[in-house]
Amino acid sequence: MGEGAATMAAGITFGVTLAIFGFMGWLALPLLEGETLSTLFTSVWNPQGGHFGIRPMIWGTLAVALPATLIAFPVSVGFACVATHLAPSWARRPLKGIAGFMTGIPTVVYGFSAVFTLVPLIRRMAGQGSGFSILGAAMVLALLISPTMILILINAFETTPQIWLREFEAMGATPEETVWYLIFPVTTPAMVSAFLLGLGRATGDTLIALMLAGNAVLTPTSPLEPARTLTAHIALVMAADFESPEFRSIFACGILLYLIIFGLTLMVRYLTRRPCP
Amino acid sequence: MSLWKRLLIRYGSFFVTLLLLSGLFFFLGHIVLKGGNTLSPALLFGEVAPMDALLFKERVFEGLFPAICGTLCLVLLSVTLALPAGVLTGIWLSHFARGRAKRTLTLCVDTLAGVPSIVVGLFGFSFAILLHTLTKGRIGPCLLIAALTLAVLVMPGIIRTTEVALSTIDRGTRLRVSAMGATPVQAIFHVYLPMAASGIFRGGVLALGRCAEDTAAIMLTGVVVTAGVPYALFGRFEALPFAIFTIASEYTGPEELARGYGAALILLILCGGLFGLSACIACRFRSIKR
């Protein structure tokens, strides 16, 4: 009976994962007939005129998520090095604790804080626009995804066999040399998967982009311009009634996001699988 | 390694660490400073007397009380829904799963863990539409559906912590248990689960925090700006993170803005407290094992 219950629960988990995709497919299905599909991957979003192009949102997602990950990655690697090897040993535990605590901070609190601090700052520095821009969103998003990456990296750095670390120490290697010549080469796959998982979190985050990126439907050309990500687009269009083709098209956005995450997950699994003996 | 490279690695790492910490303190400090002044009974209950509000005699309009109640109901309901399914899946993965089935399910859990909360929200919303058509318009987006959606969102976390907690049980215990003639099911439910309880409990607490902070998923599944204290499973509700979000985008005056800061601080304290609790459990767990 116990085993049956466990198997059933596993079945539920499996079912839910498929159902998320299935439900979105079911609601996006009407897009296949009619002319909506042909306009889906164009760059014109004009629901009144029958244009449902989501290409600006795809670019927007890239323009926000990629810089955020590119900022967050070196920061996370540096932080993880400090927390595991470079800092004096009394400071390591608190640093790891802070990284853990940061994963628990509500996204909306970062967003709220940034709306009233970072956005006016960018507005003043840029001297133009409203301050709601890709730059601000990417910076806060970098702060948001760093702890996730840091925890993965710390985990990977700490699984380096103790005996290798001692051998390096015995050969007279400085902590910096240990990090550069031992830790980095050994943990390269873990570092790549930390990058990919960070990218996934940045792509999937809704609130920061929604609150800070300005949400204009434009193909972004400069970091000081506003952009709308796929996630923010879903949140904004939901206000519309649920028979319109406009509403249907956001399920295409959902499917796209799901597939992106699925692809990233597959890549991470490929990287972190145990090598065959 | 040249001196320059060494210095670059060392001070570069310290620099980015400081950068991250200062960014963290900049944003959180702003909330704590601005929100600290607003904490008062009026922030929670507006003009209504606290006792009347707590006993649900009078409805609170200009306070955070309904939003806090909404968040608490939502969080407890969704973790209650997610915990059994999550723990049982964790058990299945660590004890019964073999070969391809195990690989498939871990892929599912990994994917589920990465799916953006807004996409899970979209799933919850389409589920609500399905119910809406099935019940001829009686059930729409509501508290129960939002809780179900959040349960889906936090389940992978619970599954993983359960699996990890169960896998840390040492070989000696396992051998002793089977030597005493316990069936696998008896072993799991009478020995392994109690042993892993604190790890599982910790996963549950982390899930509470995740539910409390998530905004995107509930945005699509029934949260509204004013609904009062949640009164039914099939009713609309308010929630703290959504209140913060709406105040940030559509506040009308300094009073409302101050309420936003207060709400952000309360949410921060709530999530920070839950995280602290989970860290405490982890700490005690470690000292017991030694």
Can you spell out the DSSP letters for A61-76? Answer: HHHHHHHHHHHHHHHH
Cα distance between residue B244 and residue B262, in whole Å = 9
Nearest to A168 by CA among A157, A179, A152, A156: A179
What pLDDT, on a 0 to 100 scale, did the predictor assign at position A242?
63
Check residue A51 and give left, alpha or beta (phi > 0: left; psi -120 to 50: alpha): beta
Map tokens 């009233």 to a residue. Answer: A116
The torsion of the CA quartet A121, A125, A129, A130, rounded to 10 degrees, works out to 0
C-alpha B273/C-alpha A31 separation (Å) is: 46
Q: What is the pLDDT of residue A276?
A: 43
Q: Give the residue among A237, A197, A232, A194 at the shortest CA–CA distance from A215.
A: A232
Domain of B129, CATH number, reads 1.10.3720.10
Instruction: Check A6 against B130: CB less than 8 A apart.
Output: no
Whether A204 has its CB under 8 Å from any CB of chain B: the answer is: yes
Question: Tell me, what DSSP letter sits at residue A126?
Answer: H
Other Cβ atoms closer than 10 A to B160: 19
d(CA A243, nearest CA chain B) in Å: 11
What are the chain A neighbours of B14 within 8 Å (beta carbons)? 78, 82, 86
At A240, is the secondary structure helix, strand, or coil?
coil
Q: Tell whether A74 lies on the interface with B, counting CB pairs under 8 A.
A: yes
The residues facing B223 across adjacent strands are B237
**Coil, helix or strand for A46?**
strand
Report residues of chain A scoring pLDDT below 70.
Answer: 1, 34-38, 239-243, 274-277
Residue B203 in any domain: the answer is yes
Residue B31 maps to a domain:
no
Three-state SS sequence of chain B? CCHHHHHHHHHHHHHHHHHHHHHHHHHHHHHHHHHHCCCCHHHHHCCCCHHHHHCCCCCCCCCCHHHHHHHHHHHHHHHHHHHHHHHHHHHHHHHHCCHHHHHHHHHHHHHHHHCCHHHHHHHHHHHHHHHHHHCCCCCCCCHHHHHHHHHHHHHHHHHHHHHHHHHCCCHHHHHHHHHCCCCHHHHHHHHHHHHHHHHHHHHHHHHHHHHHHCCHHHHCCCECCCCCCCCCCCCCECCHHHHHHHHHHHCCCHHHHHHHHHHHHHHHHHHHHHHHHHHHHHHHHHHHHC
Contact by Cβ (8 Å): A119, A134: no
Per residue in B190-239, pLDDT tens? Answer: 888 888 888 888 888 889 988 998 888 888 887 777 777 777 778 888 88
Domain residue limits at B222: 39-289
Low-confidence ranges of chain B (pLDDT < 50): 290
User: Which chain B residue shows the shortest CA-CA distance from A231?
Assistant: B118
Chain A and chain B share a number of CB contacts under 8 A equal to 250
Domain count, chain B: 1
Contact state of B127 with A16 under an 8 Å Cβ cutoff? no
Kindly state whether residue B17 falls inside one of the protein's structural domains: no
Task: Say whether residue A8 is in contact with chain B using an 8 A CB cutoff.
Answer: yes
B67 domain residue, yes or no = yes
Q: Give the ipTM.
A: 0.89
Distance CA B122, CA B219 (A): 10
For residue B227, tell me if it sits in a domain: yes
pLDDT confidence of residue A240? 56
Q: Which residue of B has its CA nearest to A258?
A: B115
Closest to B217 measured CA to CA, from B121, B152, B103, B87:
B121
B12 located within any domain: no
Tell me if B116 and A79 make a contact (CB, 8 A cut-off).
no
Domain for residue B274, yes or no? yes
Q: What pLDDT does residue B49 have?
A: 75
For chain A, which domains are there?
Answer: 14-273 (1.10.3720.10)
Which residue of B lies nearest to A110 if distances are taken between CA atoms?
A: B27
B164 phi, psi to nearest 5 deg: -65, -45
Query: pLDDT tens digits, residue range B112-123?
Result: 999 999 999 989
- What does each C-alpha distance from A224 to A130, A212, A229, A245, B222 come to in angstroms? 9, 12, 15, 32, 34
Q: For residue B29, is it within any domain?
A: no
Q: Which pLDDT belongs to residue A36? A: 63
Calpha distance A201→B251 (Å, rounded): 29
Burial of A134 (0-12, 13-18, 19+ CB in 10 A): buried
Taking an 8 Å cut-off on Cβ atoms, the answer to whether A7 and B96 are in contact is yes
